[in-house]
Amino acid sequence: MEEVLSRKVRLQLHETLDATGRLGKSGVRSVQRAVAETLAENRGDLPEVYAFATSVIRDAPNRDEVLAQVASATGTRLRVMSGEEEARLAYVAAHHWARHESGPLLVLDIGGGTVEVASGTSRRPRTAHSLPLGARTVTRAWKLDEAVSSKRRLAEVRDHLGRRLAEVPDLPHADPDGRVLACSKTFTQLARYTSGDRDRSRTPQRLTLDEVRAAVDVLARNGSAGRGRLPGISRHRAGQSLAGALVAEALMEACRATAVEISPWSTREGLLLERLGALRTKGTANR
């Protein structure tokens, strides 16, 4: 897959959310500006721009208002995917990246707002789940952005996550003869930290449950500033890195995965793969 245009703007939208989860005016303005600048940079070079919003906007009580304001200001209406659709696309991307031929495949993806879990034995998943247990969500709910010295408090968070995952009907488990792929910055960051690799141009290959548990202990002893100085932990994600590690631990335990392979591809790449496939099919049909 050849990259045509890549532009990254760090909006930090979660910092503009109020207590009810509504996106504030500054957040809306930053989205409008990012969309407008990206469209201007494209200058019509691409045949199609597919703009979609992730969980910060999707789950906001004022979502419709935000989408309307962005559309009015930029002429582009952001599309909103369901969590299950994000899980399906993450599976498609990970499957393609790993060139997985056959056998059971489990894909785990920890986002800021939600967690996606998908499983199958072919190019399309058989099951797809989305849960409101993302790193940002758990950080806000349990105030985990600073150091946590209380083992009891950590135990409470772990119990909460474990119970929520246990309530999910048909949550897939890792197959002894299959593979487990982990997407998202949360897993990549944890793997980079546990390997001690500061080079962000390289994607770590593997992460074990024991390594995640050890990371939780270190991250809990540090506040945001201290976490940001740890190898592999980016400063802008440091505040939610403890919650991310706790969610990764709970998710691996619930899915009975003792280790995961790290996939650099997730929802975005899954969407691109499907759009490319649709364009190829349309081109063939028009011949």
pLDDT of 47 reads 57
Q: Check if the beta carbon of residue 121 is closer than 8 Å to that of residue 105.
A: yes
- In order along its 287 residues, the chain shows pLDDT tens digits of 455 555 666 777 878 888 888 999 999 999 999 888 888 876 655 556 778 887 889 889 999 999 999 999 999 999 899 999 999 999 999 999 999 888 999 999 999 999 999 999 999 999 999 999 999 999 999 999 999 999 999 999 999 999 999 999 999 999 999 999 999 999 999 999 999 876 666 778 999 999 999 999 999 999 999 999 999 999 989 999 999 999 999 999 999 999 999 999 999 899 889 887 754 554 544 44
Give the residues across from 130 on adjacent strands: 116
Q: Check if the beta carbon of residue 66 is closer than 8 Å to that of residue 23.
A: yes
CA atoms within 13 A on the CB side of 242: 28
Which helix (DSSP H) or strand (DSSP E) does residue 117 occupy?
strand 115-120
Q: Is residue 167 left, alpha or beta, with left meaning phi > 0 and alpha meaning psi from -120 to 50?
A: alpha
| Residue environment code for 151-167, b if the CB has 16+ CB neighbours within 10 A, otherwise e | eeebeebeebbeebbee
Q: Is residue 256 left, alpha or beta, with left meaning phi > 0 and alpha meaning psi from -120 to 50?
A: left
Cα–chain-centroid distance for residue 55?
A: 9
Helices (H) and strands (E) counted in the chain, each on its own, are 11, 8
Q: Rounded distance, CA 112 to CA 157, Å?
A: 17
Q: Rounded distance, CA 144 to CA 87, Å?
A: 26
Nearest residue to 264 (alpha-carbon basis) of 98, 34, 24, 67: 98
Q: Check if the beta carbon of residue 128 is closer than 8 Å to that of residue 226.
A: no
Length in residues, the chain: 287
- Indicate the pairing of strand 52-53 with strand 115-120: unpaired
Q: Check if the beta carbon of residue 243 is closer than 8 Å to that of residue 142.
A: yes
pLDDT of 279 reads 47
- Token pair of 259 as six digits: 């280790």
Which structural domains are found in the chain, ordered by start? Answer: 13-80 (3.30.420.40), 83-269 (3.30.420.150)
Cβ count near 103 (within 10 Å): 11
Q: Rounded distance, CA 95 to CA 270, Å?
A: 9
- pTM for this model (two decimals): 0.88
Residues sharing a CB contact under 8 Å with residue 67, sequence separation 6 or more, in sequence order: 53, 57, 77, 78, 80
pLDDT of 2 reads 52
Q: Rounded distance, CA 39 to CA 173, Å?
A: 42
Q: Which amino acid is at 178?
A: G
